[in-house]
Structure 1
Amino acid sequence: MTANGITGKNKTTPVSLLAGMAIASPVALNIFAPIMPELAVRFNTSPFTIQLGFTLYLFTLAVGQLISGPLADRYGRRPVLLWGFALHIAGCVLGIMAAEVWQLLLARVLQAAGGCTGMLLARSIILDQHGKDRAAGMLGYITLGIATAQAIAPTLGGYLNLAGGWQTVFWLSMALGSVVWLGALFRLPESDNHSAATGFLNSFKRYNTVLSSPSYIWYALSSTMIASGFFIFITSAPFVVAKHLQGSAVDYGNWFLLVAGGFWLGSLTAGKISARTGTDQMIKLGNSISGVASLAMLIMFMTAPPAYLSLFLPMALFTFGRGLSQPNAQAAAISSTSGAKATATGMQGFFQLMIGSMMAQLTPLLMLMGLTVLPLVLIAMVVLAAYFYHKGAQSSLEAS
């Protein structure tokens, strides 16, 4: 066994470990949503304060992705991942022991600061070890794992809360993070492409290249608006279920499967028809479907008392549209940059999480004016997405 804790012959990382690295943080993010109403009661605080547990997680993921990539390029994948998941586990422990709301919020920040390393580095490690051609198929499995985790995490969180209390969601995240940490310790080889000779701050200069492309910025913002719609819903819907529908965390988790299924089906459809339909048409089609879904939710809320179907069914259609538009908008953004593809991907994730976290925290405050604010904000997100797409397409034509 070498100093790195692995044998010299073991040069590749098991797919199961890579999948665990990638899903640990999405699970910790989404499993928290169904217990938010109960936490507001248990900690005797406002829904706005508890929603910070979701918003701060997104914010920390956004910043963490910008920092973790250059750190891994400078110091190597393995040490950054090990330190990152140690931080994630520490956050889980703090969450379990939290007696005051500030401790709970700090726990969420620590979870995200550490867990973001797995989300970012799983893809980098695959590319390091397998090259572009073989990596494509493996990345498909990783994406499927993330989609599955996002689909079942809220439902699982609801049932765990029912069976053992809200601390169980932190216990589960700690168990998953510990398995990943041990797996990385014994099965993750170090990459050979990091350079200690390269200045750490110089790694960030590649962001200038990405941001110098106007079409990249517009396309990335278009994708961000639709993603923000999802974040807005997931922070608002648990309180709608608890307050307006007198439902539980389990009810929210069960109905959320419709929303996750919509995104899954949309992504699957995009994968099958995008090549022959074209990026531009897919973005337009996806945005149109999301817009129709938002309008349908508004009409339902205005014409009848709130119900599970009027809340979750239109959102399932919204996320189906997102599944069609988002991968194409992301591809359009990244392809509009010259080089620095990985940096462009990280910057796009930063846009989505940063703006999405702000919108997710603001919308529940606006909803104090009425339930119809939720679909109105979703409509605004779609309108902005369409506008930013138009600007991106226009910039792309001017550049050519």
Structure 2
Amino acid sequence: MIPIAYFIFLAMCSPIALNAMLPALPAIAEQLDIDSSMVQLNYSLYLAALALGQFSVGAVITKLGNRSTILLGISTFIVGGLVALITNSLWLMLLGRILQGIGGAFSMSMARALLVASSGKDRAAQQMGYIVMAIAFSQSIAPLVGSTLNTHIGWQAIFAFSAIQGAILLLFSLKLIKPAFEQPQKLTLSMMLNHYMSLIRQHSFSRYTMANTFIALCFYLFISASPHLTKGLSENNLAYGYWFILISGTFMLGGYMSTLLNKRLSLDQSIQLGNSLCLLGASILLILQISLPTSFASLFLPMSVVTLGRGISQPSYQSAAIGAADKLAGMAAGLIGFLQLSFGAVFAQAVPLMMDLHPSMIAFAILGCTLLAKCYAQNYRNKKIATDHALIFF
């Protein structure tokens, strides 16, 4: 049996590589003499590559098998880190980030797939929580890791750190993942697209998935804007990393609370509670941005309420959406991740344009996303109640 520590380390690599770069973006823009929109591509293209990787990993596994897929993913991740490390060209750096993102998507997906294959469904369900916690933990420490490396060595050290992580993972993977005979299967692009279209046409799946996407966009908007909004607020270069721990910490707390609440409440009730907290935090964030000078506290404290609500609602959103997919549950999970990340990439790239209009536009956008999520979820709930009443009447 493969140790759970391997799966945890495997799942942590990509979130660290993604978020460790955030505190260094202003420094990269200054050193390479580029504007904020261009340097933001470091983050948004990584998200887009993650989305593409999650969209395609199922077909790759079907064709190559588990071992070859994980080795391909980790190798791509390492190559991406090395390409970004050895260049001062923005375009080669972005190529490296794309390769990192695709490899990271394979690694995160395979962490779950290999855990189930190694431990069995029942035991894997008990251990999957460790992977979720590991991802949240890596998101919380990544900006601090990035701030430390950028301050004491330089932003190139962040890419070196990621490449070293990947190399260690590759060695463990070669040792722990044994070759196995796996008959290649045929899954054409048209078959995949037909499955995805059938999911999108399911009203319940599309409603829950879009609401989940809008709630996730609150996080992507904030994480993309916060390094620029907080630039120059403190002489301590590590301050951003310390404050960011609050965001990931409340997300982890919300996830833990969801496991307790879902024992007493229905999925829709948990979703409504989480959405209400998101709306409260977003409203406070906008009020503070309009009425007070920008500070770490005025940004991170209300946003921690938003992420607490997201931690409560997101597991319920995803469980409800996947549950509605029936036999296409695996593809549904991939489609949820693809939509969340692809929308996140587009909105993350729009952040510099929004900030050029006015810094408070980010708070307006976050509030708008919470309202849209609440409307999507509430409309589905109202329609479901009306349908249930009609069935009772007849």
Report TM bin, short chain: over 0.9
Q: 1:275 aligns with which of 257, 263, 266?
A: 263
Residues 191 and 278 (structure 1), Cα distance of their counterparts in 2 relative to 1, 3 Å cut: farther
SS of equivalent to 1:339:
helix
Q: How does 1:1-400 map to 2 (within 5 A)?
A: 12-190=1-179, 194-201=182-189, 204=192, 205-242=194-231, 245=233, 249-394=237-382, 396=384, 398=387
Q: Deviations over 1:339-376 (max 9, x none)?
A: 12111100000010011111111133111122211110
Single out whichever of 155-164 and 360-369 deviates more from structure 2: 360-369
Whole-angstrom CA distance in 2 between matches of 1:131 and 1:202: 31
Q: 1:28: Cα distance to partner?
A: 0.5
Whole-angstrom CA distance in 1 between matches of 2:65 and 2:188: 12
Q: Which amino acid aligns with 1:119?
A: M
Q: Which amino acid aligns with 2:244?
A: F
1:74–1:200 contact (8 Å) kept in structure 2: no
Whole-angstrom CA distance in 2 between matches of 1:259 and 1:310: 13
Q: Deviations over 1:308-334 (max 9, x none)?
A: 110111111110010011111111111
Whole-angstrom CA distance in 2 between matches of 1:334 and 1:375: 30
SS of equivalent to 1:341:
helix
Please, which runs of 5 or more residues in structure 2 have no aligned partner? none
Q: Which amino acid aligns with 1:239?
A: H
1:216–1:392 contact (8 Å) kept in structure 2: no
**CA RMSD after TM alignment:** 1.8
1:18–1:142 contact (8 Å) kept in structure 2: yes
Paired positions, count: 387
Q: Which amino acid aligns with 2:149?
A: L
- 1:8 aligned residue: none
Q: 1:64: Cα distance to partner?
A: 0.8
Q: 1:88: Cα distance to partner?
A: 0.8
Single out whichever of 135-144 and 42-51 deviates more from structure 2: 135-144
Q: 1:164: Cα distance to partner?
A: 0.9
Residues 224 and 327 (structure 1), Cα distance of their counterparts in 2 relative to 1, 3 Å cut: same
Q: 1:171: Cα distance to partner?
A: 1.1
Whole-angstrom CA distance in 1 between matches of 2:139 and 2:208: 24
Q: Which amino acid aligns with 2:250?
A: G
Q: Which amino acid aligns with 1:98?
A: T
Normalised by the length of structure 2, the TM-score is 0.94
